Structure 1
């Protein structure tokens, strides 16, 4: 990206921060360039902006972010998610207390728990809780609050405090977006507090994501890549530096 393109992007971001959206034609007029130039600038913005129906929006704008539908996600990358969870299960030890995040990526992890003894699972996700409830050998801690049907998960003001009172050995975290510069994000703001609390207090933090999440930016930012000890993915991620950053495990 050259300096002129960077200046145009800054001007567009300022305009979008005030107005929310900007028609492609208006964006071109504002910057004194062609619509094609604006399209090229957007393509070079590393996902910070996008075009939706001929209008320019910020990817971080929650009002225009793509909707997350849990039912639609269940079959998305199903085999990959199972393989990722099989790799993740290799970190679990007998007697562990596990935090399992919401969504569909980590649901196959429940099926791997039979190989371990004396486990406790902490979750705010109804689909995970339902699956754990069928395993009498695993103790379940379900964090409650207001129920959000779109993600089949709960949210409350005191959930962070409840999580921090628990001794969590390993936190398995899912995400809708993983970006090298813009960090790790999800669709729903009520998920931020429990994710951050689990990351803050767990002895080991593991991010489990399929390749469709790599390079994406979603509305609700919740962590830096450096906040994790391990990233398990089938996506193309550069190995972490020896002096910091997570260990990348390809699945």
Structure 2
């Protein structure tokens, strides 16, 4: 590694430590070199800095888990997710068009929605679509947004998904997160989830963040929203109550704990 590369790497380390993650294009601008040169630099960093999804992160930061196993997440905090989804169901009204995010947090919601309810479900998550397709709900319409399939999150991504979301009239957006941090906002594991989440948040009448207590005070690599972007934050348990009580008043007023 030459001296200029070492200087650039130190500059990148400082930027990543300040921001948590750094887009590759921003890294190139910061160092006044091409993206290819940045890739060569991090390849020579002995694994200290890693790149995925077009972003740079520190490999030794435990808050940035680059792997997400859908099966492993399914049973984590299952009772809390059940309670959260029961609370979510109480917010859904006849005639609503509801955006349902990917992941496992909102899966109980698929089974809890009343059979006779007149509702339109919009999702880019294959597991959510499968769950609703197997229900006998005569007054439900199911809109599945297709695109490039990502097995890691059992969901679709790409421009087609976000374009479709922007064209729909969504009453309520149910958004899940892998990390909910007081200062750093809501984040997830996968960068391909960011655009659909942001499109739903931008265009929905009401934005509801749903996250069990294990997601609090955690920051993942893919930031997608400030906490102020949501109308309601649903979380769970005693950790949720403690977290709510130490939030600024404007955020704490939005938090419901079940």
1:28-66 Cα distance to aligned partner (Å, 9 max, x none):
xxxxxxxxxxxxxxxxxxxxx97x6xxx44856xxxx34
Contact 1:226/1:245, CA 8 A, preserved across alignment: no
From the superposition, tell whether residues 107 and 246 of structure 1 become closer, same or farther in structure 2 (CA, over 3 Å). Answer: farther
**Runs of 5+ consecutive residues of structure 1 not aligned to the other structure:** 1-8, 25-48
The answer to whether residue 239 in structure 2 is matched with residue 237 in structure 1 is no
The answer to whether residue 166 in structure 2 is matched with residue 160 in structure 1 is no
Contact 2:172/2:205, CA 8 A, preserved across alignment: yes
From the superposition, tell whether residues 250 and 11 of structure 1 become closer, same or farther in structure 2 (CA, over 3 Å). Answer: same
Deviation at 1:19, TM superposition (A): 4.3
From the superposition, tell whether residues 10 and 231 of structure 1 become closer, same or farther in structure 2 (CA, over 3 Å). Answer: farther
TM-score where L is the length of structure 2: 0.73
From the superposition, tell whether residues 145 and 14 of structure 1 become closer, same or farther in structure 2 (CA, over 3 Å). Answer: closer
Q: Distance in 2 between matches of 1:15 and 1:216?
A: 16
The answer to whether residue 58 in structure 2 is matched with residue 78 in structure 1 is no
2:91 alignment partner, SS class: coil
From the superposition, tell whether residues 133 and 104 of structure 1 become closer, same or farther in structure 2 (CA, over 3 Å). Answer: same
Q: What residue in structure 1 maps to residue 181 of structure 2?
A: 179
From the superposition, tell whether residues 200 and 58 of structure 1 become closer, same or farther in structure 2 (CA, over 3 Å). Answer: same
1:54-101 Cα distance to aligned partner (Å, 9 max, x none):
xx44856xxxx3410101111111111001110111111111110000
Q: What residue in structure 2 maps to residue 140 of structure 1?
A: 142
Length, aligned pairs only: 211
From the superposition, tell whether residues 11 and 120 of structure 1 become closer, same or farther in structure 2 (CA, over 3 Å). Answer: closer
**Runs of 5+ consecutive residues of structure 2 not aligned to the other structure:** 1-9, 23-40, 49-56
1:167-187 Cα distance to aligned partner (Å, 9 max, x none):
111000000011111111001
1:201-247 Cα distance to aligned partner (Å, 9 max, x none):
11100000011111111111100000000011012422565556761
Q: Distance in 2 between matches of 1:223 and 1:127?
A: 24
Q: Which has the higher helix share?
A: 2
Contact 2:172/2:207, CA 8 A, preserved across alignment: yes
Deviation at 1:164, TM superposition (A): 1.1
TM-score where L is the length of structure 1: 0.75
Contact 2:63/2:218, CA 8 A, preserved across alignment: no
Q: Distance in 1 between matches of 2:12 and 2:128?
A: 44
